[in-house]
Amino acid sequence: MPNTPNLLFILTDQQRYDSLRCYGNDWIQAPALNRLAEQSFVFENAYVSQPVCTPARSTIMTGLYPHTSGQVRNGIFLRPDTKTIAEMVSDDYLRGHFGKWHLGNDLVPQHGFEQWISIEDLHLLPTERPDRFSDYHHYLIEHGYEPKTDAFGPRVFSEDEKNRIPIAHHQSTFLGDHAARFIQSAGDNPFMLFVDFVEPHPPYTGPLDGLYDPESLPTGPAFLKRPDGTSQFNTARADYYLSEERSDPAGIHVVGGHDLSSEAGWRRLRAQYFANITLLDRAVGKILAALDDSGLAENTVVVFTSEHGEMGGDHAMLEKRSFYEEASRVPLLIRAPFVDGQPRTIGGNIGQVDLVPTLLELLKQPVPEDLQGRSRAKVLEGNNTLGDNDVFVQWNGAGDRDLGNEAINRLSAMPRRSVITANRWKLNLCATDQGELFDLGSDPHETTNLFDAPEHRDRIRDMAARIRQWQIETGDDAPLPAF
């Protein structure tokens, strides 16, 4: 094992677990990620700490749950005294962060990262307006592009504008080029590089629109199916997306500029979403090629994952903010060439809270005692398993953005907690809403809620006790229903 391994961490935004061949997707074009998966430990069941951007990212960076780091919703900055993994490693490391930050002002290097490439202009405090612009903004201006809107501040490119720019100047290409140059110039210095893509996050458009045929796109049994018998939060959101409540002047149901008044519209959106995964795969390929060409691949831990998934019409919902597998379960690949273990699929459950301690051990760095995750390095070595691991996911919705109507917003404001047990049962609890119990072994698409089945009363009590024990251990005070 090398004395100072490098770390290349590639993070995408809103990528479903079932978007790669190693998770059963046999039609998507993602050659770079498919090749990486063949060389990596593929975690079969990886879960985010909270299925929305800032809280999930805070866990990935700090090894703490959102209720501990304080980032329980979007728009909350990471506290200055809360350390990221970049502040936990030795000063020998050259530390770079390229792309979406979403834990504070995206324009300013912070929390241990020295080299910084920014791509977004608007993750600021509510009272702020940009007095400078991102590196990508300047890049676009230099190449002759002009922002078409001032809606979010002076001369800011909208996300829709950026997603319609040709591949050569696209945000993903821009990040891939900068990351490749960083690796090529690292020299003898050990490095830690985080590359944070926005894709395939909305607005569900991009330069590869039309790559996939919407009509032949595979879908599952939950596609556009109202989740009857589940929580009010889920059914209210599904009703909103299935209704004519949000329509343009012509009466067409439009969400984010997409016509969702028919199955054809949903399929078109879904096809464009997957096309953006192919788009980012090309940039990932460029980064991995630079690593190979540099001669550093055998000395570098490579991680690929996403901050949360995307419903994409499953259970008749869009976006994230759900405990359903499509939103809370993500791909997780770890390539560690110097680990004494063969690349393989690793069964059991893992939470992203375990990433920081695992990576610190792989990098031969001290693991702080206050981290709430556990190192899984020995699982990679084959000396341990995840066979007994429960995973906990949370929702802390108070203060979230408008999700469509007052009923949804009220339901979103209540905290929710979920446990996925080692034997693949999932319990979702909220003090003011219907509970949900799914047998992921026999019902992987979560189409049947077993919460009210009398034969599962004892199972629910046991799983609720697991959540409560986890709350005590991690200092979580979200209310739970009484049993």
User: For the purposes of burial, counting CB atoms within 10 Å of the CB of 228, is it exposed (0-12), middle (13-18) or buried (19 or more)?
Assistant: exposed
Q: In what order do the strands lie in the sheet with 425-430?
A: 391-395, 416-420, 425-430, 436-439
Nearest to 332 by CA among 7, 6, 8, 22: 22
Nearest to 302 by CA among 45, 32, 27, 26: 32
pLDDT tens per residue across span 435-471? 999 999 999 999 999 999 999 999 999 999 999 999 9
**Long-range own/partner contacts, residues 411-416 (CB < 8 A, 24 or more apart):** 411/231, 411/232, 411/233, 411/236, 412/233, 412/321, 414/233, 415/478, 415/479, 416/233, 416/323, 416/478
Domain that holds residue 175: 6-389
- Assign 82 a pLDDT band (cuts: 50, 70, 90): very high
CATH code assigned at 276:
3.40.720.10
For the cut 90, the answer to whether the pLDDT of residue 188 exceeds it is no
Are the C-beta atoms of 221 and 314 separated by less than 8 Å? no
Residue 429 lies in a domain: no
What pLDDT, on the 0 to 100 scale, is given for residue 254?
67
Distance (Å, rounded) from C-alpha 28 to C-alpha 280?
12
For the cut 70, the answer to whether the pLDDT of residue 324 exceeds it is yes
- Is the alpha carbon torsion for 367, 368, 369, 372 positive or negative? negative
Residue 227 lies in a domain: yes
Residue 177 lies in a domain: yes
If DSSP codes are grouped into helix, strand and coil, which group holds residue 157?
coil
- Assign 131 a pLDDT band (cuts: 50, 70, 90): low
Residue 442 lies in a domain: no
- Assign 124 a pLDDT band (cuts: 50, 70, 90): low
- What Cα–Cα distance (Å) separates residue 350 from each residue in 67, 128, 322, 324, 328? 19, 38, 18, 16, 12
- What Cα–Cα distance (Å) separates residue 140 from each residue in 100, 145, 182? 17, 5, 20
Residue 439 lies in a domain: no
Residue 394 lies in a domain: no
Residue 430 lies in a domain: no
- What Cα–Cα distance (Å) separates residue 370 from each residue in 51, 80, 94? 23, 16, 25
In the chain, the number of structural domains is: 1
Residue 379 lies in a domain: yes
pLDDT tens per residue across span 289-312? 999 999 999 999 999 999 999 999
**Beta-strand pair 425-430/416-420:** antiparallel
- 373 is written with which tokens? 């995750």
For the cut 70, the answer to whether the pLDDT of residue 390 exceeds it is yes
What pLDDT, on the 0 to 100 scale, is given for residue 147?
85
Are the C-beta atoms of 262 and 152 separated by less than 8 Å? no
Query: Could you give the residue ranges of the DSSP H alpha helices within 295-315?
Result: none
**What angle is formed at CA 436 by the lines to CA 435 and CA 437, rounded to 5 degrees?**
130
Distance (Å, rounded) from C-alpha 333 to C-alpha 139?
31
Residue 221 has a CB neighbour count (10 Å cut-off) of: 11
For the cut 60, the answer to whether the pLDDT of residue 368 exceeds it is yes
